[in-house]
Amino acid sequence: MTKVTIQKQKSGQSEFVRWFGPLIQALKDLGGSAAPREALERIAEIEKVPDALRNEILSSGQERFYNQVHWARQYLVWEGLIDSGKRGVWTLTPKGLDTNLDAAAARNIFLEQVRKRAAIKKPTAFAPDSVSDGDDKPEDTPQSDEDASLQRFLAVVKALSPNGFERLSMRLLREAGFERVSVTGRSNDGGIDGVGVLQLNDLVSFNVVFQCKKWEGSVPPKEIRDLRGAMAGRAEKGIFLTTSTFTSNARVEAERPGAVPIELVDGEKLFDMFKRYELGLKPRTVFDIDLAFFEQFR
C-alpha cells in the first residue's frame, strides 16, 4: 500500500482530506467500527504517522492529528460512508464497507460536500470553479458545535484554582461510581492528589489513586512513570486527569505490559464524562439538515 506522505500541504489547503481513505481502511481493519481513539491508533499504525505530527498541538489545545481525523469522519458521515450515530463509536455503513478511497476519490468527496454545504447557506448557483480549496470546516455542523462547547468547557475548568480542579475531579469520580474519594492535600504525597475505592460488586473492590493537572502542553511519559512510582503498594490502579492531552509515548507508557495500568483522561474525555453525567453541563437539542433526505425530491 502506498503510504500517505506526512507533510503539511500548501497553506490554505484542507489537510484533513488525506485521512479519508486511511480512516475507511482503519475501520475495516477493526471490524467495521471502533472508538475514535482506536481508529486513530490504527491509522497511525498503517500510515506510519510520526510522533512529531501526533504530538503537534493546535492553539485550542487539541491534537492536530486527532482534530483532522475527526473532520475527515464528519465529511465521510455526510457522504454516507460512516454512520452518523453516537459520537463514541464510529461505524461504517454498508456503502462504506464496499468503498476504497484513493487521493482523487477523497478530494472529489470533499469538493462535492463543500458544494452542498455552500448550497445550504447560499441557494443560488454555485459554480464548480468557485469551490475553495481552503480549510473548509463549516461553522454550522454538529462537530463545530461540539468543538466550540469543548473549548468553552476547558476554558472554564482551566480558570479554576488547582484545589478547585482537584475537588471537581473528586466530584466526577463519585459520579462515576467511586466511593470513599478524598483529596490528599499533602505536598509530600509523591504527586498523588487523591484516593478512592471502586466497588465492582458486593465482594470485589480495588483501591485507586488519581492525579489531576491543568496542563497547557501535552503530558509526557515521565509524568505517567512518576505517578506509577508514587502509587506503588497503595493502589491497584491509577488515574491521570488533565485539561490538556497526552503524548503518544505517554499513552504507550500508561499501557506498558507488566506495569500497573494508568487510566488517562485528557481534556476531551473529561468533557465527554461531564456530558454523560450532565455535571455542570445542560443538554440542548439542535437539528442538522440531512441533505441526503432532500436529494430524493430534486
Are residues 119 and 22 part of one domain? Answer: yes
Are residues 271 and 163 part of one domain? Answer: yes
For the cut 60, the answer to whether the pLDDT of residue 15 exceeds it is yes
Residue 252, classed as helix, strand or coil, is helix
Asked if the structure places residue 293 within a domain, the reply is no
Tell me, what CATH number does 86's domain have? 1.10.10
**Grid cell of 242 as nine digits:** 488533565
pLDDT at site 43: 94
Phi, psi of 244 (to 5 degrees): -105, -140
Are residues 260 and 214 part of one domain? Answer: yes
Are residues 214 and 129 part of one domain? Answer: no
Q: Which residues of 189-205 are buried (b: 16+ CB within 10 A; e: fewer)?
A: ebebbbbbebeeeeeee
Using the 3D structure, point to which of 75, 107, 138 is the last residue of a domain.
138
The Cα 134–Cα 144 span in angstroms is 16
pLDDT at site 1: 39
Are residues 207 and 239 part of one domain? Answer: yes
Asked if the structure places residue 34 within a domain, the reply is yes
Are residues 183 and 119 part of one domain? Answer: no
pLDDT at site 26: 94
Number of domains into which the chain is organized: 2
Asked if the structure places residue 152 within a domain, the reply is no
pLDDT at site 132: 40
Do 269 and 242 contact (CB within 8 A), yes or no? no
Are residues 205 and 118 part of one domain? Answer: no
Asked if the structure places residue 1 within a domain, the reply is no
pTM given for the model: 0.65
Residue 113: domain span:
15-138
User: Strands 33-34, 90-91: parallel, antiparallel or unpaired by DSSP?
Assistant: antiparallel
Are residues 203 and 119 part of one domain? Answer: no
For the cut 90, the answer to whether the pLDDT of residue 35 exceeds it is no
Are residues 128 and 219 part of one domain? Answer: no
**98 exposure class (CB count in 10 Å sphere: 0-12, 13-18, 19+):** exposed
Per-residue pLDDT, averaged over 74-78, amounts to: 90
Tell me, what CATH number does 212's domain have? 3.40.1350.10
Are residues 235 and 185 part of one domain? Answer: yes
Asked if the structure places residue 52 within a domain, the reply is yes
Asked if the structure places residue 201 within a domain, the reply is yes
Sequence-distant (≥ 6) Cβ neighbours of residue 64 within 8 angstroms? 53, 56, 57, 58
Are residues 43 and 97 part of one domain? Answer: yes
Digit-coded pLDDT (tens) for 249-269: 899 999 999 888 899 999 989
Are residues 52 and 164 part of one domain? Answer: no
Asked if the structure places residue 228 within a domain, the reply is yes
Asked if the structure places residue 282 within a domain, the reply is no
Rg (CA), the chain: 21
